[in-house]
Structure 1
Amino acid sequence: MSTDQGQRTIRCLVAKVGLDGHDRGAHVIARAFRDAGFEVIYSGLHRSPDEVVQAAVQEDVDVLGISILSGAHNTLVPKILEGLEEYDALSDTLVIVGGIVPEDDRSALYDAGVAEIFGPGASMEETIDFVREHAPQRE
């Protein structure tokens, strides 16, 4: 699926937050997003919530993909969402999470502003289609 000529390229930040050092999945999704025609920025490992927020705001991203496997999703993801809200950027940034998030923890993350959570086994196509369908339309 390609984007229309007049349509703005979707800008994505793929972020690794906290002490989680497992970044293979983040690299895989970043490559898949690039192959799908998205503009991708990768945060690198061990970013603080504030560093992720600053990068998302400064790069004016449409999509923030947070990759987290450490189990600290209930602490770190809400801090990122709160930071985006402080910059009035949450309403025009699609926030998705990839990684290990137990079913019992998901509703609180959705309530806080996460649009979707992609766990193990989610296909690249499913993730790309979700981003294309839900990324904010900007001029």
Structure 2
Amino acid sequence: MKQLNRPVRVLVAKVGLDGHDRGAKVIATALRDAGMEVIYTGLRQTPEMVVTAALQEDVDAIGISILSGAHMTVFPRIISIMKEKGMDDVLLTGGGIIPETDMQALYAMGVGKLFPPGTPTTEISAYITEWAKGHRAF
């Protein structure tokens, strides 16, 4: 596997009216501690705002934290906007309260690995790093 010539850039976002951002902040800090550049957009973002910020920041990955139950609306919308913008080389991943059957449906749409609560942060950072090594030009 190739080495990276710069830190992996990740945008972490909370979409919709989900106001619980502790987990997103913990993940953002853990990814930063793992050597990544992290942009945290804060609460109440729209899918359009997330993708626009990801484009402006030239990120390698977008991580969505979702606890509201809106994952089957949010992830497909973000994937759709990413495709419209030609962002085929950007990982869309995330985590939160997402039933396994919904995870499988989201994977089929092109969403990357999704992480339930309690996943070790080292597993998340390793996944994003390995994905970037295989899919991004550094």
Question: In which range does the TM-score fall when normalised by the shorter chain?
Answer: over 0.9
Q: CA deviation at 1:107?
A: 1.4
Deviations 1:81-104 (A, max 9, x none): 100000000x21111111010011
Deviations 1:58-115 (A, max 9, x none): 11100100000000000111101100000000x2111111101001111111111111
Q: Which residue of 2 aligns with 1:123?
A: 120
Aligned residue runs from structure 1 range 1-139, under 5 A: 7-89=5-87, 91-135=88-132, 136-139=135-138
SS in structure 1 at match of 2:69 = coil
Q: CA RMSD of the aligned region, Å? A: 1.5
Whether the aligned pair in 2 keeps the contact of 1:15 and 1:66 (CA below 8 Å) is yes
Aligned residues: 135
SS in structure 1 at match of 2:10 = strand
TM-score, L = length of structure 2: 0.93
- Higher relative contact order, structure no. (Cα contacts within 8 Å, ≥ 6 residues apart): 2
Unaligned runs of 5+ in 1: none
TM-score, L = length of structure 1: 0.92
Q: CA deviation at 1:6?
A: 6.3
Q: CA deviation at 1:38?
A: 0.3
Identity of aligned residues (%): 54
Whether the aligned pair in 2 keeps the contact of 1:57 and 1:84 (CA below 8 Å) is no
In 1, the alpha carbon distance for the partners of 2:11 and 2:111 equals: 15
Counterpart residue type for residue 137 of structure 2: R
In 1, the alpha carbon distance for the partners of 2:100 and 2:15 equals: 20
